[in-house]
Amino acid sequence: MTRSGVQGEDTQEEAAAASERAEAVRGDGDNGVEEAKDPRPRRRRRALRWTAVLIAVVLAGSAGAGYLYYEHLNDNIRQDALNLGDNKVAAPTPNAAGQTPLNILVIGSDARDSEENQQLGGARETFGSTPLADVQMLVHLSADRSNMSVVSMPRDTLLEIPKCTDPDDGTVYPASEGRVMTNQSLGHGGPGCTVATWQELTGIHIDHFVMVDFAGVVSMADAVGGVPVCVDANIHSRDGQGHGSGLKLAKGTHPVKGEQALQWLRTRYGFEDGSDLARAKAQHMYLNSMVRVLRENATLSSPNKLRRLAEEATGALTVDPGLDSVKKLYDLSNELRKVKPERITMTTMPNRYVGARVEPTEDAEQLFRLVREDIALDGKDTEKKPDAEPEPPADPAAPDDEIAVQVRNGTRTDELGTAPGRANAITGLLVERGFTKAVADPSVLPREDRTVIRYPSADLEGDAWRVAESLGVPASSVKRSTDVSGVTLVVGADWREGTAYRAPGSDDSTPESAEALNGADESACMHVNPAFTWS
């Protein structure tokens, strides 16, 4: 098994930011250089980049590419383990028709371990270094195959990476000490650690991953004859210090292919505020446009073009064992092709800045919940999916007066401070109802939108359910978590006053901060920063 990676945009900016390189995280601007060496023996990693190649191969596959040079194409595809973490997320319960959603994590790496990919993006000083997962997109296909949602996570997102074990050589990568940038996860044993990191953060069960070859984007865009993109002004992505992708386009809509397609996907200098968030938006526009081209372009009926598309796509992929053949990719393509462009929604994980980095917001949890519950992000579900009722625990609860409960005040919000005295008030309520071992914990002030009861192990699940039942808290708010040592009640922002808990109404709308883009929107156009325009 081999792996390699590819480079993001501007290495020069790292040389100009020595203070940033001194941080523990790699990849501040576009391509940081990590001082610590990878403890594993180096293995050549195939370059991996953009979602476009995945979309291309699975959509084109059903038109016939899946049967061309079958064995040869199978040999092109590389595979790696799906999940390197210890904790697994249960697969969703099938709907009434026996269907389940499908979640695919698409990963792009900034490493540059092949000569071809190094020629495409510079960053020669990072040749052979540990790769970073600089592009991460979750593709969610609904259970009924009526809609598709894509959630991008900014590579600068701060989160905790779980412990990961490399199945090839047994190397154990300890969990991160505190929060680090999410793009470091790929260097903790491979893509399976990026999958584990996503599952820990979102609670979303991930069925497959795909890592995509950076150089393959060039030939893929050529094979489909170019992908139309739009800018609202003339743009040249290059500043006085040489930073930028080099993209140069006149105002309006233009088909891009080859290296120009790569420039579009890599550009942040010149788009909107110059952040990675703007770059993600440009990637969404490109992918939506490519999907439309692949569905509509009659030239792809040519056997030669399909052969070329199949060669380039399979040669660009690294996948988990569940997608390790053309037949499996072909089957996946048939599922994805059921979704029309107008039911595809591209989003970015809602976030807020923490210095130069970002962290998920409450809206991010709302977005993750919609994906977990298979609720369409375009708001066009024909009927509300009933909430799945959790199964009650097999072990009965202890007597109320023997259940130890810690109560914490998590009522703080962005707009409101912590409601005073809530932990003491609810502790008093529990004691009145017979839970004499309930105590308030004033040392921890978390923040929770909704009241939640957590327990650390199966033997305490029944106790947690009993506490929820006593307070009228729904069973869906009882969660297993290794972050607590016993049954722990966190009074959320939905219970800032009173002793009667009333569950808030469910809001199933996609947060505005996710900046949703519809797949059929041909009017989408990137805003050009005036500092990067030309006349």
pLDDT value for 500: 93
Tokens of 149: 């949602």
Q: Using CA atoms, how far apart are residues 9 and 21, in angstroms rounded to an integer?
A: 16
pLDDT value for 345: 96
Write the pLDDT tens digit of every residue in 94-111.
888 889 999 999 988 765
Specify the amino acid at residue 175: A
pLDDT value for 214: 58
pLDDT value for 452: 95
Round the CA-based radius of gyration of the chain to a whole number and report it: 24
Q: Which residues of 167-195 are buried (b: 16+ CB within 10 A; e: fewer)?
A: eeeebebeebeeebbbbbbbbbbbbbbbb
pLDDT value for 25: 33
- The number of C-alpha atoms within 13 Å of 73 and in the hemisphere containing its C-beta is 25
CA distances (Å), origin 336, targets 91, 214, 333, 341: 19, 22, 5, 11
Neighbours of 235 (CB within 10 A): 25
Low-confidence ranges of the chain (pLDDT < 50): 1-68, 117, 119-126, 298-299
Sign of the dihedral defined by the CA atoms of residues 48, 136, 145, 475, in that order: positive
Tell me whether residue 39 is exposed, middle or buried, using C-beta atoms within 10 angstroms of its C-beta: 0 to 12, 13 to 18, 19 or more. Answer: exposed
Q: Using CA atoms, how far apart are residues 186 and 109, in angstroms rounded to an integer?
A: 8
pLDDT value for 131: 79
- The number of C-alpha atoms within 13 Å of 225 and in the hemisphere containing its C-beta is 14
Tokens of 79: 């595979």
Q: Using CA atoms, how far apart are residues 34 and 22, in angstroms rounded to an integer?
A: 9
pLDDT value for 329: 84
**What structural domains and CATH numbers belong to the chain?**
102-384 (3.40.630.190), 400-491 (3.30.70.2390)
